[in-house]
Homo-oligomer: A and B are copies of this chain.
Amino acid sequence: MRKESSTNTLNKENLESNCGMAYAIGILSGRWKLSIIGYLLAHEKLRYGELKRKIEGISERMLISQLKELQSDRLIERIVYPEVPPRVEYKLTEKGRSLDHILTELSRWGKRHYTENTPANAEQR
């Protein structure tokens, strides 16, 4: 797994029996990662600034760190154009794109269950 991605971890036992899952989840569950992936699934290529504008609410710090993690996990690719007003584009890698199917299914699952959402113990908190 990543060094200390911290948002989502599975313990050792589960890692052993379920490392694929742990890996997938570890990779996918940063605060904004799925936003980014989602936009890149829709738009093919996006510049840093475009992402920043689309994911309004995210700080530059977060955007960069999430992009770096995604890149380091080889889900996205960073393309630098050596121009004078610098230009950087991000796009999904083959690996990143290969998530499309699963994410679509997950999204479908979500849609299917989103409506029937009657929390059991909503009164808590």
Contacts and interface: CB of A to CB of B under 8 A. Distances in A.
The SS class assigned to the A binding surface is helix
Contacts of A30: 8
Contacts of A122: 72
A17 B37 CA distance: 13
A29 B14 contact: no
A61 interface: no
A38 B15 CA distance: 11
Interface in A92-117: 95, 98-99, 101-103, 105-114, 116-117
Interface of A: 3, 7-14, 17-25, 27-32, 34-35, 38-39, 42, 54-58, 68, 71-74, 95, 98-99, 101-103, 105-114, 116-122, 124-125
